[in-house]
Structure 1
Amino acid sequence: MANQEFHGRIGRTYDESEPWWPDQARASEDAPNVLLITLDDVGFGHWGCYGGIADTPNIDRLAENGLQYNNFHTTAICSPTRSCLMTGRNHHSNGMASIAEVSTGFPGYNAHIPHENGFLPETLVEEGYSTYALGKWHLTPSETNSAAGPYDQWPLGRGFERYYGFLGGDTDQYTPSLVHDNHQVDPPTTPEEGYHLTEDIAQRAIDFIGDAKQVDPDKPFFTYFCPGACHAPHQVPEEWIEKYEGEFDMGWDEAREQILERQKELGVVPENTELSPQNEDVRAWDSLSDDEQRLYARMMEIFAGFLEHTDHQIGKVLDYLEELGERENTLVMVLSDNGASAEGGPNGSVDENHFFNNVEEDLEENLEAMDDLGGPEYFNHYPWGWTWAGNTPFRRWKRETYRGGASDPFVLSWPEGIEASGEIREQFIHAIDVVPTVLECLDIDAPDEIKGVPQSPIEGTSFAYSFEEPDAPERHTTQYFEMFATRAIYHDGWRAVHPWEFNKPITTEDLSATSLEDSGWELYHVAEDFSEAHDVSDEHPEKLLELIQLWWTEAGKHDVLPLDGRGTQRFAEERPEPGRPRDTYVYYPGGQPIPENAAVKVLNRDHSITADLTTADGEDEGVLIANGSRSGGYSLYVMDGQLRYVHNYVGKEEYEVIADEPLPEGEVSVRMEFETTGDLDLENGEGRPGTVRLYYGDEQVGEGEIPVTIPITTGLTAGLSCGRDATNAVSDVYRDRAPFAFTGDLDRVTVDVSGDAVVHHEAEMDRIMARE
């Protein structure tokens, strides 16, 4: 890059010269701060100010001092929505048709957000703003999340100056997988010491803002604050759960009625709004057994406590802005990235890794765990009846293009910039409209280029016009939706929806006009039928055909094609990997943990693990290599002078093999060999059994049988670590000593996976999709 032109004078000596300093980029004197708060899996009917039956006093006070929008829309899933929020372009225009883990090799689907679609912080940092991101990211291609990079799609590669959070779709609230700027870090404290991720990132947000404000008080900030809440796991300290004891005993059917009644009282839905029809997947509350009702009510109590706890952390950040005198001139927006999530299934789950591995939930076992749900021992999620209630008054839920998946709460507050407060706005807006609205509020033009890269046109429309004009005609009048070939389009008060059975491939025969264009579409006049309660396609066939044709026009504009309703096959799509395929993986102690997608895959195949180490006195102990978490995984470690291997079967059972002889002193190669002895039984959630043999050098020193192994995944929240069990220890045997780092001299660990792997793509797809 050429140096900036010098405007001083350079003579033969200093006395003959005139110094000059380059101008520093500075925002205008009264430029507002921007705080964009993005929650996860929170439905339209969850917040108190939207009629919800959980308390959200801090979001409510923003609504009281700002505006609520009842016609805000997302893409129906997290990463695509977040890409819209950052760029102002549609999700397919961003290459983010879905989450990165199910990317395909087409422009709208490859999960590589082009640099032509600049991120909002890339613009603002050049305008003199401090830029911070905290919490969930999930905008990098999955193959780039490891220390091998590349880093150009990490937060610091897309305009943020500081980052603290997690790159994937979800993480454990008590033992999260954390990244600080461009490197992984351990949580600062433990669950026993009171650690919780949402509290941590709230304090980090305060620290980031304060660090800069104390040095340059006039410099505005853009802070992107994204708790993992309220995505699974639903985890929160017990005191936040206790408040809601008994509050949901009435069940989800009555809850929907109560929420709608409150929504009408608050004016966030029209008075004539009806509840959408019965969800065919949800059992009536009265049909459940007493034990089921007791467990499911408890699961909702935990979710409510989790949501209020998150609201409390938002309140801490808002209070800090008050202390700084910055709150009045901070544009605050709070939203959810999609509708409430049905990923807990019909019965809820105490650990999602059971679901991912096709291990059936056991009601009696879950009842025994009930009092500890929400704590660090479980990765729980409520049943989808509560999902449906959380999306009141709409149909369905996350992943689908009905309003239950794509309509979300949205609150905006800017006391110095907006006179109106405590009012509802009904204009249609979409996630792509946030960027142009922020730029208009800041009086900044969208740049023609960023760092030499010409920029594509922003596709959203500013809704700043609506701030002071509640009855102004909406300006965003057409918007397409697509997710896994489920489709919808909004146009001038009408909404056409084409549902699609997830995991059903679109075949060549399906490409006929009758099946893809004319058949199966539903039509809703949402200007009159807010909740999509009445399909009027038969009454207005001409309007329906108009919208179908419009959808295809929009699809052609925004890289939506080819339509792809595949599930399992889409997961199996060949895509870039971190490094070339190989049979031997070598790991070294002291490095960063390896994310699951980049770690060696050993399940359902013959493999060996060899550790080259040196011990001095026979007292050395600790983990040599571990992969997974309390929810399932394996670990090779030394304890009580002996080599040990443990296989944790989805958190239900631990199978351990222990060497018969003590570990010799000095240099030694220790080895674990796993030989499969049976078949994969995926239907019953059982991976291939096998024989484990332990060796010191060439001498066999132990043998044991592993009757059942993990069939699909070791879990979502930890990954592989060498020389220690980095977080959320695999084994109960040493969990109270985690990370249980090896005290001897560990040179390297080599994993050989030359045995053939068995992969079940359908189950793997279910696992990946729940990370949205």
Structure 2
Amino acid sequence: MNKLKCKIKFRVMLVMLVAPIFCSTLAAVDKRSGMTPAKDKPNIIIIMTDDMGFSDLGCYGGEIETPNLDMLANKGVRFTQFYNAGRCCPTRASLLTGLYQHQAGIGGMMGDRGAEWPGFRGHLTERCVTFAEVLKTAGYNTYQTGKWHVGDKKKEWWPLARGFDHSYSCPQGGGFFFKPSSFKEKRQVVRDTEVLYDQKNDPPADWYATDAWTDEGLKFIESEAKENRPFIWYLAHNAPHFPLQAKPQDIAKYRGKFMQGWDKLREQRHKRLIDLGIIDKQWKLSPREKGIPAWDSLSGKEKYQQDLRMASYAAMIDCVDQNVGKIITKLKELNQYDNTLILFLHDNGGCDAGGAMGENTGKGTCGTAKSFAYYGACWANVSNTPFRKYKKYIHEGGISTPLIAHWPEGIAKKLQGKLITEPAHVIDIMASCVDLSGATYPTSFKGHAIIPMEGTSLRPLFEGKSLERNDGLFFEHYGHRGVRRGSWKLVATRQGKWELYDMVSDRTELNDLSSKMPEKVKELSRLYNKWTERCFVQKLKGE
């Protein structure tokens, strides 16, 4: 009997010793994925703006005030040769999936050309996964706010059906800042799957899109902070895309600051970019684009109108920066700042819509809710300083974007405030998210075979190493096309001939070497053709 009591007593003591360890282990297991969350998994916030030029930010040579983004750049890293896909939908498709846009089904915009055009289905197809779908398996909470623009006709194409836990967005894209009813086509503001506002039901008078996309995302983060799980938040601003609509106090801040005109501002930006080390001094400033008049040839009235347009554009960017400040403050309040990777980029270069001088087709003064103003090629040429061309083109003005990466615990201290000059691409965002989260990219998902990632993780660059990318980077949008490999870039406009540029000595693409180096043209064009065959890049009529 005494032996039995001793055995029972021993087992009770053993259970008492083991139970806390066992229970704590169970508590650490993520309810959704069955994985044990690692405390060092970073939160990830991806902030993307819309139709913004390479040199608009203060930390990239601009005169627009962006103190919060400048701070992130000075305490993080800035990429000097980061590329997007040249336009709204394609860049978003590549960002979300880590594939070239045609592979994801959005080689053009959101029109569906049918099954015989697999690269042009107008929505994210079943052969791809989003970073939300992948990171969910690693225990991440997933949020999306702002412009969606990768499929809106069915709710199965909306954010919640593509891996996001919560969303507050416009599935159709952008086109408004105060009221959905101000846009000529269907626009909705949706929380998860519930339509809150549309053209028959506008939001309250104090609603402004840039603020709303940020505020709702912060609510998602704060409401689930106690779950102690990492999160990824994709914040897609529609600013500063036309129509130019901004808050009056933000516009007032910039009135008169652009009266010196686009010619002098381009020269000043070019000089600052050189002084910052972002561009090489041997890269000459591209000439004023064809059709844009000299600033000094304008009348006083025309200069006043142009100043208002650029002041409205600047105000929209200023508001984006103010909201970045709110994110920083909230992360610090939640003690999440140091282990959050913040990435900031644009979807394409400045947009030349509205003609050479821009226009206002709305009923109100430029900048107001009733206006519908474009800043035109004249100011887009400033935004894209020092490069040629605009949004939708594959020349540097169309595809070059800043990328700011800030992560106190993850970016080597010796690199903080430095520039990263190695070429990288928006397809690398997915690979980076998978790598840093510890997730596994799937070969199949929901019964569908998944195309392997095209990108490369940026982690080595955060550690002071090289990507060692062997393949080139490829581009195509409605016949505009290009390939960047090493120091060489082959590029052409729709129906145009190939142009060849040495990106080391001539990134502003002013000295075409194609006639002098035909073998290099053949070599790169062969790579491009192989890529088109592999990635569902089909020529449309007229290309």
Give the TM-score taking structure 2 as reference length. 0.88
1:312 is paired with a residue of what secondary structure? helix
Structure 2 residue 218 is matched with structure 1 residue 206 = yes
Aligned residue for 1:529? 506
Shift of 1:494: 0.5
1:690-748 residue CA offsets vs partner (Å, 9 max, x unmatched): xxxxxxxxxxxxxxxxxxxxxxxxxxxxxxxxxxxxxxxxxxxxxxxxxxxxxxxxxxx
Q: State how far apart, in whole Å, the 2-side matches of 1:396 and 1:456 are.
A: 32
- Among 477, 484, 496, the alignment partner of 2:478 is 484
Shift of 1:453: 3.2
Greater relative CO, 1 or 2 (CA 8 Å, sep 6+): 2
Q: State how far apart, in whole Å, the 2-side matches of 1:28 and 1:192 are.
A: 42
Q: State how far apart, in whole Å, the 2-side matches of 1:32 and 1:467 are.
A: 14
Aligned-residue RMSD, C-alpha: 2.2
Aligned residue for 2:397? 404
Q: State how far apart, in whole Å, the 2-side matches of 1:111 and 1:522 are.
A: 30
Query: Highest CA radius of gyration, 1 or 2?
Result: 1
2:380 is paired with a residue of what secondary structure? helix
Whether the aligned pair in 1 keeps the contact of 2:347 and 2:401 (CA below 8 Å) is yes
1:328 is paired with a residue of what secondary structure? coil
- Among 486, 494, 501, the alignment partner of 1:500 is 494
Structure 2 residue 534 is matched with structure 1 residue 562 = no
1:404-462 residue CA offsets vs partner (Å, 9 max, x unmatched): 11111111111111122101001111111111012112232322333343322111112
Q: Percent identity?
A: 33
Assess, with a 3 A threshold, how the Cα gap between structure 1 residues 112 and 237 changes in structure 2: closer, same or farther.
Answer: closer
AA partner of residue 550 (structure 1): L
Assess, with a 3 A threshold, how the Cα gap between structure 1 residues 450 and 39 changes in structure 2: closer, same or farther.
Answer: same
Shift of 1:468: 2.4
Aligned residue for 1:42? 52
Shift of 1:563: 4.3
Whether the aligned pair in 1 keeps the contact of 2:137 and 2:439 (CA below 8 Å) is no
Shift of 1:249: 0.9
AA partner of residue 111 (structure 2): E
Aligned residue for 2:255? 245
Whether the aligned pair in 2 keeps the contact of 1:172 and 1:379 (CA below 8 Å) is no
1:193-239 residue CA offsets vs partner (Å, 9 max, x unmatched): 422111112110110000101x31x2111100011111112211111
Assess, with a 3 A threshold, how the Cα gap between structure 1 residues 123 and 283 changes in structure 2: closer, same or farther.
Answer: same
Show the 5 A alignment for 1:691-706.
none
Aligned residue for 1:770? none
- Among 358, 362, 366, the alignment partner of 1:373 is 366
Q: State how far apart, in whole Å, the 2-side matches of 1:112 and 1:168 are.
A: 11
Structure 2 residue 161 is matched with structure 1 residue 171 = no
- Among 265, 283, 305, the alignment partner of 2:293 is 283
Q: State how far apart, in whole Å, the 1-side matches of 2:203 and 2:91 are.
A: 31
Q: Determine which structure has the larger strand proportion and give its number.
A: 1
1:532-580 residue CA offsets vs partner (Å, 9 max, x unmatched): 12212222222122212221111111111234446xxxxxxxxxxxxxx
The 10-residue stretch of structure 1 (103-112 or 321-330) with the greater mean CA deviation from structure 2: 103-112
Q: State how far apart, in whole Å, the 1-side matches of 2:382 and 2:541 are.
A: 30
Aligned residue for 2:429? 434
Show the 5 A alignment for 1:21-60.
24=31, 25=33, 26=35, 27-60=37-70
Runs of 4+ in structure 1 deviating by more than 6 angstroms, as ranges, are: 20-23, 189-192
User: Between Structure 1 and Structure 2, how many residues are aligned?
Assistant: 503
Aligned residue for 2:183? none
Q: State how far apart, in whole Å, the 1-side matches of 2:131 and 2:370 are.
A: 38
Q: State how far apart, in whole Å, the 2-side matches of 1:244 and 1:554 are.
A: 45
* Structure 1: unaligned runs, 5 residues or longer: 1-19, 353-365, 502-518, 567-772
Show the 5 A alignment for 1:71-220.
71-101=81-111, 103=113, 105-140=116-151, 144=153, 149=154, 151-176=155-180, 177-186=188-197, 193-213=205-225, 215-216=226-227, 218-220=228-230
- Among 375, 378, 386, the alignment partner of 1:385 is 378
Show the 5 A alignment for 1:338-737.
338-351=348-361, 372-419=365-412, 420-469=415-464, 472=466, 474-475=468-469, 477-500=471-494, 520-565=497-542
2:511 is paired with a residue of what secondary structure? coil
Whether the aligned pair in 2 keeps the contact of 1:485 and 1:564 (CA below 8 Å) is no
Q: Determine which structure has the larger helix proportion and give its number.
A: 2
Shift of 1:31: 1.3
2:46 is paired with a residue of what secondary structure? strand
Q: State how far apart, in whole Å, the 1-side matches of 2:468 and 2:298 are.
A: 45
Structure 2 residue 78 is matched with structure 1 residue 68 = yes
Shift of 1:476: 5.6
2:104 is paired with a residue of what secondary structure? coil
Shift of 1:474: 4.4
